[in-house]
Amino acid sequence: MLLGFRPSLRLLSHRHQRLQSRCVQSENTATSAAVDSVLSALRSICGEDGVSLGAAVREQHGRDESVHRCCPPDVVVFPRCVEEVSALAKVCQHHNLPIIPFGTGTGLEGGVSAVKGGVCFSLRNMDQVLDLHPEDFDVTVEPGVTRKALNSYLRGTGLWFPVDPGADASLCGMAATSASGTNAVRYGTMRENVLNLEAVLADGTVIHTAGKGRRPRKTAAGYNLTNLLVGSEGTLGIITKATLRLYGIPEAMVSAVCSFPSVQAAVDSTVQILQAGVPIARIEFLDDVMIDACNRFSSLSYAVSPTLFLEFHGSERSLEEQVLTAEDITQSNGGSDFQWALDAGTRERLWKARHDAWYAALALRPGCKAYATDVCVPLSRLPQIIVETKQDLIENRLTGPIAGHVGDGNFHCLMVVEPNDPDELQRVQMFTERLARRALAMDGTCTGEHGVGLGKRALLCEELGPEAVQVMQHLKDSLDPKNLMNPGKILQQREL
Amino acid sequence: MLLGFRPSLRLLSHRHQRLQSRCVQSENTATSAAVDSVLSALRSICGEDGVSLGAAVREQHGRDESVHRCCPPDVVVFPRCVEEVSALAKVCQHHNLPIIPFGTGTGLEGGVSAVKGGVCFSLRNMDQVLDLHPEDFDVTVEPGVTRKALNSYLRGTGLWFPVDPGADASLCGMAATSASGTNAVRYGTMRENVLNLEAVLADGTVIHTAGKGRRPRKTAAGYNLTNLLVGSEGTLGIITKATLRLYGIPEAMVSAVCSFPSVQAAVDSTVQILQAGVPIARIEFLDDVMIDACNRFSSLSYAVSPTLFLEFHGSERSLEEQVLTAEDITQSNGGSDFQWALDAGTRERLWKARHDAWYAALALRPGCKAYATDVCVPLSRLPQIIVETKQDLIENRLTGPIAGHVGDGNFHCLMVVEPNDPDELQRVQMFTERLARRALAMDGTCTGEHGVGLGKRALLCEELGPEAVQVMQHLKDSLDPKNLMNPGKILQQREL
């Protein structure tokens, strides 16, 4: 199922039938007048232009960047403010229509698939940066603001927001999926960097998880609703505003690339650098297949062997010390001399190449699709799991370059799959399950940063145990009793 | 009510009547046989010695270190393992008896008050440090392990756990109240430092918030149950195990004390040191009244004026740079030369004095009781709120030395109150409400680290808005439909 594809476009009449059958459930009138009434209610809230039934628009909103099949919603709405989001949610609640929030569609676990149809809330028209407080290192953004747009906005202030998944995702979408990226080893994930959220619940209620407009750096005021919503993947509410923690741009930054004779040597170096207390900002592993793909895709010329991309942040003086310690460690593990990226342009090119790893992997086999695993294990287990996983890939004749945020114990196999080869699909499916179970057996998790979405619901149960998953279901039921908020994600599908 | 006292010891017969009336509710038999049946069920689980009805024991378990009135539970039980905690919870669930978890009783918001009677679960017999993984910087502890006990256990490993509320609290209790302390500005609060929790829910179900035995540094696997329980103050479950993040002991540490001509100068220095990106480990403000009290209580001789206690962690080289930057800033604000605490002994004495501020404040007026406020505001608002608050204290003739984790925007007025002076009690009550509202008006919170407990339930509603509090009530109802888990805390009391 994970890797299944199906024709994605449904006929308009079919869609109307579905909307109609939902309206029948709720209103007990079996006429298309019910459908018209829903559509006219939606249009009365966000205007004619704010409601789309177009096939192309619906299809675009029914898939993310993963191999999960496209499930278009019945309608896409484009609210312009939280009041409209709330009013639209009330219409959906009244008519039992699923609500699927949509940021940039750059998720990797099928989070935006409208598996039960319903109304997709595209938040792209809410794209303002609000309330920048440079002196307090915080900012509030609307859900259409992406991480790159925020950092552009911050140019000249001396501040930046460091969480950086590969894609230029929306910040509220990143909050919804508990995203992280290359900087997490130093700056944390979205869990550590969201101070407050505004969210619209399934019934249209607007809440502020830490109180309206509040932004203390710490709080002990009641249940941590902020971190309940972070990572809830749109299943508890639509995030309509996020207050984020910002950081001062370090006085100096320097990046380096180091090649190793073996995977074990590269990963051992990572573990030892962290154990030595080096406050490293980024430490990314790329295996030989991955660096080869990046060389080709991004016109680089690094040695084709297991590689670390490193970045150090700090004052000029502290950088020197960090670099010396790191070099000592890598050389004692047989690493090459550091190849430096000193100026901003070279550094940017280096990290763009790392962020483009997904596309570099896809370019290895044109016409194929990609699926990224994202297990995460305690640091000390990392060498073993990567070595075993590489062996597994070879034995099963699979293309899966490895790139990872190894400082967090988190890495990706970027599985490149021929979608029309059922045997290969099957082997990939088996491989990803083995990999997840390998991580679970090492006290780790099946998902470090991509979330559960559609593909890891069964694994979630293995990972947490049925009792904890039952608690999650209770929480979901209490906030969304009709199961309208992004149904079928995280928790196994229940019927409406 | 906040500052009310009442005779704390109830008669045994009264207690038996209460237990009996509860049993009547659930079993519809009005005999003392029901009481005996409850007691014998409890004893069958944790032995004769594991169940106490003694007045002194009950009273000891009905109060914390605050001025909140003592409300003894009907019974105190002393389970030895999670299986016993679970079995005891099932008995309580069956008989509709409130469950009140008890760590060390060092809370400051009445969290252990048995306001509805019931069974206090003292967790002191579960005091083992389990599963230390030095190479992964994590450890798992039972609920009886205190922060000092853990750090003693870690001696020689090169690791430590930095979160340090004033008292030697239990780590699971610290998780339950979302505690922090002087190191939070660098190392975060309990929210950032708990990787996994084992907890027993009201019905006896045992859950592991991140899956049994798991300890990845980051995860995106479903709702963040870990941070839902952190700060839930015993109202959602009894924490029976915590997996914590550890840190390497820095190569070098140095502490310093600096006096200032005004509150504004001290607080401005704090804000500027943080804005300059100095990774300061501790930066604590003490006003003139507080430093005077600490001088007396801990036999120190610092100048009686607004003061900062600072601590720097890092390599020898990086310390030099941190200290130079900090000194530049303090001197530009009129601060004194740094008085150094270089060796471990002097440093320990300095920070013990800071941690003893509570007792130093109490010693200002023997026979009085103390109540600590703990508002937290964005950093830039700190000078204004502290200056206004000092003015308010003077105008209202109140003793309230100020000490605070100013690097987080969090500070305490340690209100020393004559419990038999209703006029003073009234003035303190009015003062604390004004202070909380002042923080709320500055985008802050009424509680940065002590929690809501009994005293801040009304303020919580002002802070978060009724919608967010209603969401908390829904979550509570979904996990504890009978409202047995520490009833009356965080959320307003509902009848059983």
Question: Which residues of chain B neighbour A184 with C-beta distances below 8 Å?
Answer: 218
CATH 3.30.43.10 domain position(s) in chain A? 12-122
Q: What percent of chain B has pLDDT over 90?
A: 87
Mean per-residue pLDDT, B313-338: 95
Distance of CA B467 to the CA centre of its chain: 26
pLDDT band at B45 (very low <50, low <70, confident <90, very high): very high
Whether B452 contacts A220, CB under 8 Å: yes
At A205-216, the pLDDT tens digits run 999 999 999 999
- Whether A215 sits inside 8 A of B443 (CB atoms) is yes
Q: Does A270 touch chain B (CB under 8 A)?
A: no
Residue B344, H or E segment: helix B344-355
Among A447, A459, A468, A457, residue whose Cα is nearest residue A493: A457
Among A340, A302, A335, residue whose Cα is nearest residue A319: A340
At A31-43, the pLDDT tens digits run 578 889 999 999 9
Q: Please give, rounded to a whole number of angstroms, the shortest distance from the CA of A28 to a CA of chain B.
A: 30
Angle at B241 between CA B237 and CA B247, to 5 degrees: 125
Which among A180, A448, A490 has the least Cβ separation from residue B222? A490
The pLDDT of residue A17 is 58
User: B377: nearest CA in chain A?
Assistant: A216
Any idea how long chain A is?
Answer: 496
HSE of B153, CA atoms in CB hemisphere, 13 A = 19
3-class secondary-structure state, position A14: helix
Q: Return residues 154-213 of B near A (CB < 8 Å).
A: 177-180, 184, 188-189, 191-192, 201, 205-213
Q: What percent of chain A has pLDDT over 90?
A: 87
Helix %, strand %, coil % of chain A (to 5): 40, 20, 40
The pLDDT of residue A26 is 47
At A252-307, the pLDDT tens digits run 999 999 999 999 999 999 989 998 889 999 999 999 999 999 999 999 999 999 99
A356 or B13: which leads in pLDDT: A356
Q: Is B16 exposed, middle or buried (0-12, 13-18, 19+ CB in 10 A)?
A: middle
Q: Does A137 touch chain B (CB under 8 A)?
A: yes
Q: In 10 A of CB B348, how many CB atoms?
A: 12
User: A214: nearest CA in chain B?
Assistant: B443
A412 vs A372: CA distance, rounded Å:
6
pLDDT band at B15 (very low <50, low <70, confident <90, very high): low
Whether A285 contacts A382, CB under 8 Å: no
Whether A418 contacts A364, CB under 8 Å: no
The pLDDT of residue B21 is 59
Candidate from A13-27, A419-433, B420-434 with smallest mean pLDDT: A13-27
Whether B281 contacts B312, CB under 8 Å: yes
Q: Does B492 touch chain A (CB under 8 A)?
A: no
The pLDDT of residue B22 is 58
The pLDDT of residue A12 is 39
At A158-216, the pLDDT tens digits run 999 999 998 999 999 999 999 999 999 999 999 999 999 999 999 999 999 999 999 99
Whether A313 contacts A186, CB under 8 Å: yes
In the predicted structure, residue B348 carries a pLDDT above the cut 60: yes
The pLDDT of residue B86 is 98
- Bridge partners (DSSP) of residue A485 are A99
A452 vs A450: CA distance, rounded Å:
7
- Whether B475 sits inside 8 A of A475 (CB atoms) is yes
B391 vs B413: CA distance, rounded Å:
12
Q: Please give, rounded to a whole number of angstroms, the shortest distance from the CA of B133 to a CA of chain A.
A: 9
The pLDDT of residue A7 is 28
Which among A192, A217, A443 has the least Cβ separation from residue B409? A217
Which among A223, A250, A374 has the least Cβ separation from residue B475? A223
Four-CA torsion B234, B239, B243, B245, nearest 10 degrees: 20
Q: A6-10, A244-248, B490-494 — which one is most confidently predicted on average?
A: A244-248
pLDDT band at A140 (very low <50, low <70, confident <90, very high): very high
Whether B453 contacts B105, CB under 8 Å: no
In the predicted structure, residue B454 carries a pLDDT above the cut 90: yes
3-class secondary-structure state, position A444: coil
User: B461: nearest CA in chain A?
Assistant: A211
At B254-292, the pLDDT tens digits run 999 999 999 999 999 998 999 888 999 999 999 999 999
- State both tokens at A255: 């990046």
User: A376: nearest CA in chain B?
Assistant: B216
Question: Which residues of chain B neighbour A179 with C-beta distances below 8 Å?
Answer: 220
Which among B447, B465, B478 has the least Cβ separation from residue A208? B465
The pLDDT of residue A189 is 97
CATH 3.30.465.10 domain position(s) in chain A? 129-248
Residue with tokens 């990963």: A267
- Whether B467 sits inside 8 A of A207 (CB atoms) is yes
- Bridge partners (DSSP) of residue B310 are B256, B283
DSSP state of B5: -
DSSP result, A74-105: SEEE--SSHHHHHHHHHHHHHTT--EEEESSS
Which among B228, B449, B460 has the least Cβ separation from residue A228? B228
Residue with tokens 């509150």: B263
Q: What is the mean pLDDT of chain B?
A: 92
User: B211: nearest CA in chain A?
Assistant: A464
Mean per-residue pLDDT, B356-370: 93
Q: Please give, rounded to a whole number of angstroms, the shortest distance from the CA of B30 to a CA of chain A.
A: 35
In the predicted structure, residue A495 carries a pLDDT above the cut 70: no
In the predicted structure, residue A493 carries a pLDDT above the cut 90: no
pLDDT band at A310 (very low <50, low <70, confident <90, very high): very high
Q: Return residues 294-333 of A near B (CB < 8 Å).
A: 315, 317-318, 321
- The residue type of A129 is V
Q: Please give, rounded to a whole number of angstroms, the shortest distance from the CA of B318 to a CA of chain A.
A: 6
Question: What number does CATH give the domain B129-248?
Answer: 3.30.465.10
CATH of B12-122, one of 3.30.43.10, 3.30.565.10, 3.30.2350.10, 3.30.200.20: 3.30.43.10
In the predicted structure, residue B30 carries a pLDDT above the cut 60: no
The pLDDT of residue A21 is 59
Q: Return residues 52-111 of B near A (CB < 8 Å).
A: none
At A73-103, the pLDDT tens digits run 999 999 999 999 999 999 999 999 999 999 9
Q: Please give, rounded to a whole number of angstroms, the shortest distance from the CA of A193 to a CA of chain B.
A: 10
How many contacts, defined by CB atoms under 8 Å, are there between A and B? 283
CATH 3.40.462.10 domain position(s) in chain A? 252-441
The pLDDT of residue A29 is 42
Strand ranges for A25-145 from DSSP E: 51-52, 75-77, 99-102, 119-122, 129-133, 138-141
3-class secondary-structure state, position B372: strand
At B186-232, the pLDDT tens digits run 999 999 999 999 999 999 999 999 999 999 999 999 999 999 999 99
Residue A139 phi/psi, 5-degree rounding, is: -150, 155
CATH of B252-441, one of 3.20.20.70, 1.10.1740.10, 2.30.29.30, 3.40.462.10: 3.40.462.10
Q: What is the mean pLDDT of chain A?
A: 92
At A53-81, the pLDDT tens digits run 999 999 999 999 988 889 999 999 999 99
Among B255, B441, B439, residue whose Cα is nearest residue B339: B255
At B287-321, the pLDDT tens digits run 999 999 999 999 999 999 999 999 999 988 889 99
B74 vs B71: CA distance, rounded Å:
9
B132 vs B118: CA distance, rounded Å:
35
